[in-house]
Amino acid sequence: MFRETAAEPRTQSVPLAHLSVELGHLYMEDFEAGPERLRAHFAEVRPWVEAARTAATARAGGKRPRISTCFLIDDYFTRFSTPAEVVPMLLAEAERAGLSVDYLARESGCAVTGKVPVAEAVAARIVESPPPGSYGLRPPAAQTGWLANGERSPVARTPQAMKRAAVWQPPHETAARRHSVFLDVELWSDDADGQRLWSCPFLAAVWQLARLGLLRNEGEAVLAPQPHTAGGFPDTWDELPTLLKLNERADPFAAYRTCSVLPTRFLPVEHAVRVILDQIEVDPGALAQVADRSGKERMAVPDSVADRISYVYYSGP
């Protein structure tokens, strides 16, 4: 059998660090609260960043690990202020705490980057894990926009004449250990005009795939860092690249593992992220590249994508 070389699917490789550390993911109200809120946030973050660096060094066998930092700004759900006002304040407060932001990302880029419908492409890769004993009565996530980590409670139905009503049953987590922690995640909602609004957990799952170097669209890497040119920042968010490289000497944006330092209010969102990632068929070419390169570096990487992610939560605003 003969086949043209150009017909062979190719998966673009991306540079990989050992660890990607997220210094924050804040909303409009956090920035509206002024520099004091950012100052308090970075003061909480700094010691945990040092701990993450220490852990990465241990995994690297004492050698210098490649570590990059990133910060995600929510410009998807609410457009507020301007990059020209927000970004300098953010960078100044990070520097004040002794931290450096290597990469700055806009959350809207996790939905659409350029002409690439990133979130839609990831949603197309959802492969639901059917609960044991299920018979396909539950509509698929592609239809409902909801994804669960187990079996929902059965819907109460009006019984037929001379038949008893179905007995209520609790939901059940598929991978439960003794007791269930059942979660049903809303992936998106559609308005009356058919416009789709992606949920925060789903965009956060896309964000994690990008940070792990596993996000592809037809083999091409998505959310590629753009260098920051000398000068200030634009007056509108659309003029700001979806992923901006602020430190020209930074280690690669994507990494074998990620660590996010976040306020405790993000804990439910990140639980949902793990449920989503456990049911996404990640690009096999990207997975193979990470496995090959981590093996050559003798860096152990978990088989489960969700297990490549770690978090530190602090109590605060």
Q: What are the boundaries of each domain within the chain?
A: 11-124+192-314
**pLDDT recorded at residue 160:** 62
- For residue 112, what are the CA distances in angstroms to 65, 240, 284? 32, 14, 22
Contact 103, 243 (CB under 8 A): yes
pLDDT number for residue 172: 85
Residue 154 has what pLDDT?
Answer: 73
The DSSP result for the chain, as a single string, is ----GGGS--------EEEEEEEEEE-HHHHHT-HHHHHHHHHHHHHHHHHHHHHHHHHTTTSPP-EEEEEEE--SS---S-HHHHHHHHHHHHHHTT----EEEEGGGGT-BTTB-HHHHHHTTB---PPTT--S-SPPHHHHSEEESEEPPPPP-PPPTTSPPPPP---EETT-BSB----EEE-EEE-TT--EEE-HHHHHHHHHHHHTT--EETTEESS--EEPPSS---SSGGGS-SEEE--TTPPPSSEEEEEEEEEGGGHHHHHHHHHHHTTB---HHHHHHHHHHHHHTT----SSSGGGEEEEEE---
pLDDT of residue 157: 58
The Cα 244–Cα 73 span in angstroms is 12
In the chain, the amino acid numbered 272 is A
Residue 28 has what pLDDT? 83
Strand partners, 73: 26, 106
Q: What is the pTM of this model?
A: 0.91
Determine the pLDDT at residue 135.
Answer: 56
pLDDT tens, residue order, the chain (317 aa): 444 555 556 889 999 999 999 999 888 888 888 899 999 999 999 999 999 999 999 998 888 999 999 999 999 998 888 999 999 999 999 999 999 999 999 999 999 998 999 999 999 999 987 666 565 566 788 888 999 998 888 765 555 656 666 677 888 888 888 899 999 999 999 887 888 999 999 999 999 999 999 999 888 999 999 999 878 899 999 999 999 999 999 999 999 999 999 999 999 999 999 999 999 999 999 999 999 999 999 999 999 999 999 999 998 65
Q: Identify any residues that bridge with 104 across adjacent strands, giving them in sequence order.
A: 71, 244
